[in-house]
């Protein structure tokens, strides 16, 4: 029984991968209608039940959609659900936060390069300055809130990714941000415990200054400094 289930899962994966590969290679394009289940079954030499299950999975991820009486089609529009498999695969891997730090740092460098050249740079800088001002107010309180500072930090980085005006960049960076919330909370707590809250604010100010002056030569240095404490948690 277990072997039969394993074979079915393997067959479903084959159909799933075959359809994805055909989309990547341009054999199936956005808006194209897929062959029928029986045609796909014959094409891939795999049972119709496995074909049906693979199509259900692709539909759940927003890659395919079904139009009643017309058939199954390749999605024409980007859907955030398409990134769910990436999120799940990252969650299932070992939670070594150093890998997330490296990934998030590399992405931040690229996103800042794009944000500097964005038409929305000026309005984004204005919003970032407001967030930094809120950070300054919070750290001056008698008992700064870790959750409030984390909220401001997340909004700060979301503002940078939104400035790029690319929904895929925005979605990917926000997904990674969600995964890193636990370690970022621990980092923020450490900042406060070590009485290093002014440094916390200063590092955010440096990022704003780079975007304001459009100084791409400083991006890597500023981002690495920003994530240095995080990587040590």
Query: What is the pLDDT at residue 2?
Result: 43
Specify whether 56 is located in the same domain as 120.
Answer: no
Query: What is the pLDDT at residue 138?
Result: 95
Query: What is the pLDDT at residue 86?
Result: 61
pTM listed for this prediction: 0.68
Instruction: Write down which residue in 77, 111, 137 finishes a domain.
Output: 77
Specify whether 95 is located in the same domain as 180.
Answer: yes
CB-CB neighbours of 86 under 10 Å: 13
How many domains does the chain contain in total? 2
| Structural domain range at position 190 | 83-231
The enclosing domain of 31 has a CATH number of 1.10.10.10
Query: What is the pLDDT at residue 229?
Result: 66
Specify whether 112 is located in the same domain as 210.
Answer: yes
Nearest to 233 by CA among 182, 183, 176: 183
Query: What is the pLDDT at residue 115?
Result: 95
The enclosing domain of 106 has a CATH number of 1.20.120.530
> Which stretches of the chain drop beneath a pLDDT of 50?
1-3
Instruction: Write down which residue in 18, 53, 77 finishes a domain.
Output: 77
**Cα 171 from Cα 176, distance rounded (Å):** 9
Specify whether 118 is located in the same domain as 213.
Answer: yes
Instruction: Write down which residue in 30, 61, 77 finishes a domain.
Output: 77
Specify whether 64 is located in the same domain as 128.
Answer: no
């Amino acid at each position: 029984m277990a072997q039969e289930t394993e074979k079915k899962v393997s067959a479903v994966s084959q159909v799933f991968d075959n359809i994805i590969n055909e989309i990547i290679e341009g054999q199936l394009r956005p808006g194209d209608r897929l062959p029928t289940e029986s045609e796909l079954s014959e094409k891939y030499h795999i049972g119709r039940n496995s074909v049906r299950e693979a199509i259900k999975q692709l539909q759940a991820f927003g890659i395919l959609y079904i139009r009643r009486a017309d058939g199954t089609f390749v999605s024409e529009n980007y859907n955030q659900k398409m990134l769910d498999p990436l999120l799940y695969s990252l969650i299932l891997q070992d939670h070594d936060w150093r890998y997330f730090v490296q990934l998030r740092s590399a992405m931040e460098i690229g996103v800042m390069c794009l944000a500097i050249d964005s038409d929305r740079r000026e309005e984004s800088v204005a919003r970032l300055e407001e967030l930094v001002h809120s950070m300054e107010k919070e750290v001056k309180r008698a008992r700064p809130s870790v959750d409030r500072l984390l909220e401001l930090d997340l909004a700060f980085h979301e503002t940078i990714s939104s400035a790029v005006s690319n929904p895929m960049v925005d979605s990917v960076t926000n997904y990674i941000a969600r995964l890193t919330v636990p370690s970022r909370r621990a980092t923020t707590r450490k900042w406060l415990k070590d009485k290093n809250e002014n440094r916390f604010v200063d590092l955010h100010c440096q990022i704003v200054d780079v975007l304001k002056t459009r100084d791409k030569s400083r991006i890597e240095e500023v981002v690495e400094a920003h994530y240095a404490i995080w990587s040590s948690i």
